[in-house]
Structure 1
Amino acid sequence: MSDAFEILLTNDDGIDSSGIRALYDALSPIANVTVVAPARDRSACGRSLSHEVEVDDHELGYAVHGTPADCVVAGLAELGPFPDLVVAGCNKGANLGEYVLGRSGTISAAVEAAFFDVPAIATSLYIPADHTPFSEIEVTAGDYAEAKRVTSYLADRVLDAGVFDHAAYLNVNVPLPDGEPAPIKITRPSKRYEMDAERDGDRITLHDRVWEDMDPDSLPNPEDTDRRAIVEGCISVSPLTAPHSTNHHEALDTLAESYLEAVGRTDR
């Protein structure tokens, strides 16, 4: 890429997180990087939008007092040079499976970019689950080595390779570094969903039980899914589209045609 290559970098963990700094350092040698990211942690906020947000100058770019989607809209429409590519991340924690696509702020930033017709990469770091509360897990700068390597590799090559002729954005999930670079596996989001809830008096606790079994030998996901790839030590790259596709079927046509008769409209 030339010196004129522009990247808008955002995240949902907040502009002061170690993950966004890691990607800023990795991408700066190959592009002009403008950071527009939330002023604080806005994880799992999906594509929530605000009508008005405050913005502060920051050593990396701009800190927006809003969501990742706010940051993409503000960055593309006003704050930065219009980019060739949007990068979101690196998120602390994986974004795997169909059920997280609408929930993740990291993924939602990439989706928002797609509606501007700007290709995007969302990068997340898989941290193996144990009994430590996730908020207490420490991630060091070195833990992002694989994420830095693959994100800069893809950012430098995907546009010229024509990847975005067939995809709106890439959902990239990266394992912790383990000596040699991990291979890339092209995947699709896992369909497995195991949310449930438990009531205790006036409180309900939501459980995401999909993380409780991450043993590759017993993992009930097909070989080409993102979740299986990541627990087997591969980098998962899922090429995805936005907006969501529709599935037109004659059964719905029949219901539409009979609606007015069913609800009693008599002038037709």
Structure 2
Amino acid sequence: MYAVEVKNLSFGYGKENILDNISFRIKQGEFISIIGPNGSGKSTLLKLLNNIYKPKSGTILVQGRNIKDYNGKELARSIALVSQNTVIDYGFTVEDIVLMGRYPYIGRFEKEKEEDYQIVDEALKLTNTYNLKKRRINEISGGECQRVIIAKALAQNPDIILLDEPTSHLDINHQMEILKLLEELNKKQGTTIVLVIHDINLAARYSDRILLLNEGRILAVGEPSIVINEPNIERAYNLEVAIERNPITNSICVIPL
């Protein structure tokens, strides 16, 4: 069984499609990155995979079941979404924020149980944010906040985590922290990671496969060495590039010319 299957999916407003008849599969426990130029439909695709947007046509299966057949709490037990540029203005503590990830398991008039707090603590430890537990979310750094939001997603105990540019606006140190954390969750916990990211070189370094979107269609999908080549990148980004292998990481590297 696949974690996600997308079949002939289209989405748009009026007659104009943002995504046009795309199909692909994501294996259980896979780390897949979605890349492409601005406006290619990357963030829209993630919202469709989390049932925030409804497709014009086509089908999305989550673990073999039509996404339309899930209710909100059921889907949240399978999929967690880390949105782009999450801003929390209220003075919640870090623990409060991560505890919100337990909502799919708590009834309307129920209180959090000891088990919920144990799961929150484990998520905080996995993301190296346990020491921030009692801090206010609006008093910590951007990189720390992003790790807390990922901890909230982990507290949902999902099989699949969708992340929409979680490294945007972070310095390179915090970018690497986030990518290494996702890699660890993928390799050690078996979590399926679906990552929208602008940095092609980071996508190539950490991903099992890459999906390249261009103008709402899939230009290529496969292993980084197959997808990231001069013709594909030049066509999608309208930019002349050279493709080399990083001698230290042995991953594909794109060099703009």
Shorter-normalised TM-score: what interval? 0.3 to 0.5
Normalised by the length of structure 2, the TM-score is 0.34
Between Structure 1 and Structure 2, whose CA radius of gyration is higher?
1
Normalised by the length of structure 1, the TM-score is 0.33
- The structure showing larger relative contact order (alpha-carbon pairs under 8 Å, at least 6 residues apart) is 2
Higher strand proportion, which one?
A: 2
